[in-house]
Amino acid sequence: MESIKKLAEASVNVIRNMTLLLRPSMLDDFGLVPALEWQAREVSKRTGLRVHVSAEEGAAELSDEFKTCIYRVVQEALHNCARHSRARNVKVVVKQEPSRIVLSVEDDGNGFDASRVRGLGLVGMEERVNHLGGAFEIDSRPGAGTRLAVELPLAS
């Protein structure tokens, strides 16, 4: 009986952790902009990268799906910068225009050949964006840094 109880508790913990990964509670508790700023501070503390976030408060009025997409794309982009780019600075910009949300993440790192490198993180970001009818683009060349650009359409 004790073994079954421990297994059930472990399963509940795994499911709870998976749920948190899908929809971070921080988005509900504080909103998109504070969550992005927190993420930037944490990455800076952990890696030494200087991460600057420029996000308009209007982005807080987005649907939960859009907020989660933006948060997760920024999270993965910062992870990639820290892990691969050797960048010193990263700029995250979120702008709301009349018909779309524009997100960019730009670093001053070593860049890569975007036509040849396509890891799971990049594929996952693109799938999230495509699921919402958006456009995903990477502009990078060896020695020239990387710029990730996302456009998400807003409902009329």
Residue 68 forms part of a structural domain: yes
Q: What is the DSSP letter of 144?
A: S
Strand order, beta sheet including 100-107:
50-55, 89-96, 100-107, 146-153, 135-140
Residue 14 forms part of a structural domain: no
Checking if the pLDDT of 17 tops 80, the result is no
CA gap 154, 107 in Å, rounded: 27
**In the chain, pLDDT over 70 holds for what percent of residues?**
92
Checking if the pLDDT of 147 tops 70, the result is yes
pLDDT at 150: 98
CA gap 69, 66 in Å, rounded: 5
**Contacts for 76 with CB less than 8 Å, ≥ 6 apart:** 121, 124, 125
Residue 44 forms part of a structural domain: yes
pLDDT at 132: 95
> Could you please report the per-residue DSSP string of 65-98?
HHHHHHHHHHHHHHHHIIIII--SEEEEEEEE-S
pLDDT at 67: 92
Q: What is the mean pLDDT of residues 129-142?
A: 94
Residue 90 forms part of a structural domain: yes
Residue 1 forms part of a structural domain: no
Residue 6 forms part of a structural domain: no
Residue 101 forms part of a structural domain: yes
Q: What is the mean pLDDT of residues 32-42?
A: 92
82 in Cβ contact with 137 (< 8 Å): no
Q: Express each pLDDT in 64-118 by its tens digit.
A: 899 999 999 999 999 999 988 999 999 999 999 889 999 999 999 998 877 777 7
Give the confidence band of 56 by pLDDT, cuts at 50, 70, 90: confident
Residue 106 forms part of a structural domain: yes
- CATH number of the domain where residue 135 is located: 3.30.565.10
Q: What is the mean pLDDT of residues 26-49?
A: 90
81 in Cβ contact with 107 (< 8 Å): yes
